[in-house]
Structure 1
């Protein structure tokens, strides 16, 4: 079976619920890492958004899950 990079709408509902679940789980984590770094909770949110954006841009896979711990590693 060949893997294609086509958008399939038959699993759109699962993708939306998976994205919402990942956002709910990573929101408190991103806020906590921002506060722990001393940069503030907004910095944690920006870090989580940037990680998600660049992970999807440069390395998207059907099972990609990125988290806000990447920016905390730098700090």
Structure 2
């Protein structure tokens, strides 16, 4: 997939912005940490969908005892 993106030219602008320094690769605002975070979150959402047996936002039935009930921000001390 990466080769197809590169060959199509879809990544050219991104590579130019990385080379001129307007897109950092590392650090708190870097491209690599953001890609890793988004990839892990997508995988975890897919795993949760598979585990619960339905996708997020899909209506639940009363028979399902294991339903999503929202999320809250967590603070770790």
User: Shorter-normalised TM-score: what interval?
Assistant: 0.3 to 0.5
TM-score, normalised on structure 2?
0.40
Q: Which has the higher contact order (CA 8 A, sep 6+)?
A: 1
Q: Quick check: which has more Rg, 1 or 2?
A: 2
Going by fraction, where is helix more abundant, 1 or 2?
A: 1
TM-score, normalised on structure 1?
0.41
